[in-house]
Amino acid sequence: MSVGRTTAAGGMETSYGFRQVGAGDKQPLVNDVFHKVANRYDLMNDLMSAGMHRIWKDAMVAWLNPPKRTGWKVLDVAGGTGDIAFRIVAASRGNAQATVLDINGSMLAVGRERAEKKGLTENLDFVEANAEELPFADCTFDAYTIAFGIRNVPRIDVALSEAFRVLKPGGRFLCLEFSEVDLPLLDRAYEAWSFNAIPRIGKMVTGDGEPYSYLVESIARFPNQQNFAAMIARAGFERVSFRNYSGGIAAAHSGWKL
């Protein structure tokens, strides 16, 4: 069923799920997926993960532990509908300034609407841009976060270098992503759920299962915890470490620009 994970040496740039595509062809296909799913994205996240994504996002933000003072700036890349940025602002007791960056205007539009409803517009700004080419000066942010986004970015090495560039010295990189399950029975149950149930639920809820097949396949292709940690270190980050959540279904990776 699966064609195996890519390694630290690369391969994600030309892998659109299990399909091989030309360099430069992946991003438009990914954009199409998120334009299609934007309006149902939050509902589908709950259905696909049985609500678990909320727990993993809370755990990631708890690990980030944003300071409760003004002037601290975080960039949430591939921030989509704002889940991570909203949590960070709440954890900073309303003090953090968060920039939500995403390549997809449809996802950001949902995020903006949610921010208005939550009364959080003062703390947030939304920027439509590519993680591979961040429109910010060097050493701008205290933290860079990215949740369930990096596997969708074609040139992960370039995105990691950009993360390093825009962080201030002493800044923190934190990435949440689906990863490799390290519990024997859980891995089979998870694979069966992913490949059978998720595209079907996607089709029922949105009328189109294809975007969800891509999401599941892209998870199966993404480098495992150790290989991804090696990529983060190669971008220049130090003290790289990771934490598994739910037996490795998801993992958070941390690194510091020192």
Ligand X SMILES: C[S@@+](CC[C@H](N)C(=O)[O-])C[C@H]1O[C@@H](n2cnc3c(N)ncnc32)[C@H](O)[C@@H]1O
The binding site for ligand X (CB under 6 A) comprises 27, 30, 34, 77-81, 83-84, 102-104, 107, 130-132, 147-149, 152-153
State the helix-helix crossing angle for 52-64 and 41-49, rounded to 10 degrees. Answer: 100
How far apart are CB 100 and ligand X at their closest, in Å? 9
Closer to ligand X by CB, 41 or 237: give it: 41
Residue 183 or 193: the one with the smaller Cβ distance to ligand X is 193
CB of 185 to ligand X, least distance (A): 27
CB of 110 to ligand X, least distance (A): 9
158 vs 183 by CB, closer to ligand X? 158
**Amino acid found at 129:** A
d(CA 51, CA 243): 19
CB distance 36 to 211 below 8 Å: yes
| b/e 179-190 (16+ beta carbons within 10 angstroms → b) | bbbeeeeeeeeb
Least distance from C-beta 143 to ligand X, angstroms?
A: 14
Q: Closest separation between CB of residue 134 and ligand X, Å?
A: 9
Q: Among residues 61 and 232, whose Cβ is nearest to ligand X?
A: 61
- Nearest residue by C-beta to ligand X? 80
In eight-state DSSP terms, residue 194 is: I
Select 21 or 183, whichever has its Cβ closest to ligand X: 21
For the bound state, the minimum distance from the C-beta of residue 209 to ligand X, rounded and expressed in Å, comes to 16
- Total length of the chain: 258
How far is it, in rounded angstroms, from Cα 51 to Cα 22?
A: 35
Beta bridge partners of 252: 176, 243
Query: How far is C-alpha 179 from the geometric centre of its chain's CA atoms?
Result: 12
DSSP state of 197: I
Nearest CB to ligand X, comparing residues 88 and 103: 103
Order the strands of the 97-102 sheet from edge to edge.
124-128, 97-102, 73-77, 141-147, 167-178, 250-256, 238-245
